[in-house]
Structure 1
Amino acid sequence: MANRPTENTTRDIRAEQIQQWAALWRRQTPSSVVHVDAAKLFDGSGQDAETHRQVIQDSLAAAGAPPADRAAIDRILAEPTGVGGPCSRFLVVTDGEPAVNEILAGPMASPEIVTFSPVPNLLPLLIDRNNDALYLIVEAGREGGEIQAFRARHNGTLHHEDVQGRTDSLNKVQAGGWSHSRYQNHSEEIWKQNQNQLAEAVDALVRELRPRLLVLAGDVRAVQLLSEELAPASREITSTVATHVRAAGSSRDALDEHVAAKLDELRAKDESAAIDRLSAGDFENGAVGVGAVLHSLQQGQVETMLFDLDSLGDRTLFALASEPWVASAPEDALGVAVLDSVPAALALARAALVADSRLMFVDPGGLPQQTGVAAVLRWPTGPAVPGGSRPIP
């Protein structure tokens, strides 16, 4: 049986990523950022990859990126992704050294970026990681099963193990009479023992990794027996898909579609819960609109910042070199050096992340008052003054 990653390990990896991104936003060294559809980086029907990479090089040069950055980016973009299906490359390079080199699976969720700036645009990476739920897939068979752990929108498997039980007498005999019944009962008992063993391994992994979702697939009877053996904590997050992906010639399409739909349900549930907290008690727990959110950031109140990028539009703010990290005008910078005027979403996300706030990107129109940004606060602000109103930009 494979060694399991502990909950602390997976949490530490995630925390390390967030700290890395926050560190990129704290420093003032200009960086080159490229976010590009990986399909354009390799020759295909009517497509010249070398020409496209040259366009990227020319754009970086025009933006002021140094030769060392451009050389590193060209080298990385020429490398195969090793990922099947659509994906994109996201790179941040500083002084010729890659600070971020990520392959983002699935269709691009953000526009292409080719920039050189003191405030690297990490929004495509953060949007991609918006639904970062950890989940398990268990494929059950008569002899045991296979367990895999994944993180949504990440490439590769976080954990994999095969649980092999007994295989003797699993094929139910076709003989007649008393002997037939005895062997049938014996096979069924072995089958139950194997699923009990698999359930113990699944329950242990659920306790250690605390996944948001557990998907069961495989032989119909094996899945039924496995479901009955799972602990309550595992059953609470279980979803079953009627497909036998381990069978010869079978397709994983139904399983993949089921997982994608369930992860989208989790994302919608998280979004709804955050908006409910935001709206509770006449917005005692929240700030709505750019002005109110800026004030909350300056007070260190923001627990979760929510973005509706469509509603936020093309508004810009000023990114600052240190706390409070963002200002609506240079005269509001409290004496802190202004680095650049950047899109409001970038400036606010940067200020929130370096202050250890969580970021959430919601569906268009999902925030109260059709605003582009809101924040769930770490402590209530108190009820609104009678006859007054909360600040809205």
Structure 2
Amino acid sequence: MELAFLKTLYQRPGPYASVYADLTRTTEDAAKAVELRWRALRADLEDQNAPEDTLRALDRVIDEEIAERRSEGIVVFAADGEVLYRERLPRPPQNPRATFGPLPDVLPYLAERGEKIPHLTAVVDRRGGAIDCVTAKDEHWHIDVEGDEEYPIRKTKAGDWNQSRFQRAAENTWKINAKKVAHEIDRAADRCGAEAIVIAGDTRVRNAVLEEISENVLEHTVEADKNTDIDDPDLDAELRRLLRLKTYERVMTVAERFDRELANGDRAVAGLPETSTALRHGQVETLLLPDDLDSDARLWIGPEPVQVAATAEELREEFGVTDPEQERADAALVRAAVATDSELVVLPSDDGASTPVGAVLRFSTVPAQ
């Protein structure tokens, strides 16, 4: 997961208020229930001594979301009386909470956000098709493809005059239109860098399209065995299933590389002290964090993003930090990863196994033999 989108968040010195609000409306008094849930989170921030101007900034955002009724949940980070980052969530946060501390509490958001895999969906029929594509930066495009050939589209009924000629003409029309749709799918997939592609629609036309798309696109494509439209919930469910699979594959690829490099002993590190040291030195290519939102692990931080260490003495000796602070380890590590252009992989921790904090390194400090 690339973290560059968080760079502006850390341009303020903090402290930060972090809010994960549940905005679901499932009862007759839904608006009142949402307001009460926010009031409870606001009270938590007050108990943590969040300043009033920051609370008012959060009030404005939450009130706006309640009025617009456009989301099931929202994450908001604010500091110094200003909202610095906000994003609507497609579902309620797994763990609604509000915290106030030296750094924003970003790991729950990153775990729910997940990998942003560029993807494409297409629904095809005998007249053309509809294509939706989404980039890794969450940019959306919609393309309607009108076939060049419109007549004849349907085969004639058995026994009609000149039946075989019209049937061949209909099939040729489908193939001509399918070729145009396939060309547009190739172009759109290249434009958005699609790594997951779902094609649905008329079975015979779908097969014709699959025969025409490029090999590079075909290797990322699955069929949805449905004659549907681009907004059908079943098609969306198939896409989400594919994206989950792609995310799992990507995470497992990084985890396997981490295990391999750690065994070799020079291009990976494990443990909080070792990982924080590697981040301070700009070595980390990919940071691996367990999805452990209840972890009580702490690190010491200074005012600069790369100032993170297992002990306060390290920051005093290496950077001359006079007043180090303790902070959640995951928050401190993510800030340093953002500053050093490292990627992040959040490892699932729901299997009961202990998942260590670690990193795959860009380079090793082990001297060449």
- Common fold, TM-score beyond 0.5? yes
Q: Normalized against structure 1, the TM-score is what?
A: 0.82
Letter in 1 for 2:39: Q
Letter in 1 for 2:295: G
Which residue pairs with 2:276 in the alignment? 294
Distance 2:33 2:144 in 1: 43
Distance 1:78 1:360 in 2: 33
Distance 1:384 1:279 in 2: 21
Pick which of 141-150 and 92-101 moved more: 92-101
Matches within 5 A, 1:340-379: 340-364=325-349, 370-379=354-363
Distance 1:148 1:273 in 2: 28
8 Å contact from structure 2 (residues 268, 361) kept in 1: yes
8 Å contact from structure 2 (residues 134, 192) kept in 1: no
8 Å contact from structure 1 (residues 26, 354) kept in 2: no
1:121 pairs with 2:101: no
1:163 pairs with 2:145: yes
Distance 1:83 1:148 in 2: 25
Which residue pairs with 2:81 in the alignment? 96
Q: Compared with structure 1, are the counterparts of its residues 20 and 151 closer, same or farther at alpha carbon in structure 2 (3 Å cutoff)?
A: closer
Q: Normalized against structure 2, the TM-score is what?
A: 0.87
Deviation per residue, 1:34-61 (Å, 9 max, x gap): 1111216996469633333322332222
Which residue pairs with 2:321 in the alignment? 336
8 Å contact from structure 1 (residues 143, 191) kept in 2: yes
Pick which of 35-44 and 172-181 moved more: 35-44
Distance 1:208 1:152 in 2: 11
Tell me the CA shift for residue 381 of structure 1. Answer: 5.0
Deviation per residue, 1:230-287 (Å, 9 max, x gap): 011111111111112229xxx8343223212211111111112112221225243211
1:324 to 294, 297, 306: 306
Deviation per residue, 1:297-330 (Å, 9 max, x gap): 2221100001113399321112221263212121
Q: Compared with structure 1, are the counterparts of its residues 125 and 323 closer, same or farther at alpha carbon in structure 2 (3 Å cutoff)?
A: closer
Which residue pairs with 1:51 in the alignment? 36
Which residue pairs with 2:238 in the alignment? 258
Matches within 5 A, 1:145-184: 145-150=129-134, 158-165=140-147, 166-176=149-159, 179-184=162-167
Letter in 1 for 2:362: R
Q: Which structure 1 segments of 5+ residues have no match?
A: 1-13, 386-393
1:195 pairs with 2:182: no
Which residue pairs with 1:234 in the alignment? 217
Secondary structure, in 3 states, of the residue corresponding to 2:292?
A: helix
Q: Compared with structure 1, are the counterparts of its residues 128 and 310 closer, same or farther at alpha carbon in structure 2 (3 Å cutoff)?
A: closer
1:314 pairs with 2:296: yes
Distance 2:294 2:35 in 1: 36
1:130 pairs with 2:130: no
Distance 1:245 1:89 in 2: 31
8 Å contact from structure 2 (residues 12, 79) kept in 1: no
8 Å contact from structure 2 (residues 272, 358) kept in 1: yes
Distance 2:36 2:160 in 1: 75
1:269 pairs with 2:249: yes
Tell me the CA shift for residue 139 of structure 1. Answer: 0.6
Q: Compared with structure 1, are the counterparts of its residues 113 and 268 closer, same or farther at alpha carbon in structure 2 (3 Å cutoff)?
A: same
Q: Which structure 2 segments of 5+ residues have no match?
A: none
Distance 2:323 2:117 in 1: 36
Distance 1:135 1:47 in 2: 38
Q: CA RMSD in A?
A: 3.1
How many residue pairs align between the two structures? 362
2:15 to 14, 27, 30: 30
Secondary structure, in 3 states, of the residue corresponding to 2:321?
A: coil
Distance 1:337 1:169 in 2: 80
1:212 pairs with 2:195: yes
Pick which of 27-36 and 331-340 moved more: 331-340
Pick which of 163-172 and 50-59 moved more: 50-59
8 Å contact from structure 1 (residues 303, 376) kept in 2: yes
Distance 1:383 1:176 in 2: 83
Distance 2:350 2:285 in 1: 21
Which residue pairs with 1:10 in the alignment? none
Tell me the CA shift for residue 331 of structure 1. Answer: 1.4
Which residue pairs with 1:388 in the alignment? none
8 Å contact from structure 1 (residues 136, 213) kept in 2: yes
Distance 1:292 1:381 in 2: 12
Secondary structure, in 3 states, of the residue corresponding to 1:132?
A: coil
8 Å contact from structure 1 (residues 312, 372) kept in 2: no
Same amino acid, percent of matched pairs: 27
8 Å contact from structure 2 (residues 111, 291) kept in 1: no
Distance 1:196 1:372 in 2: 50
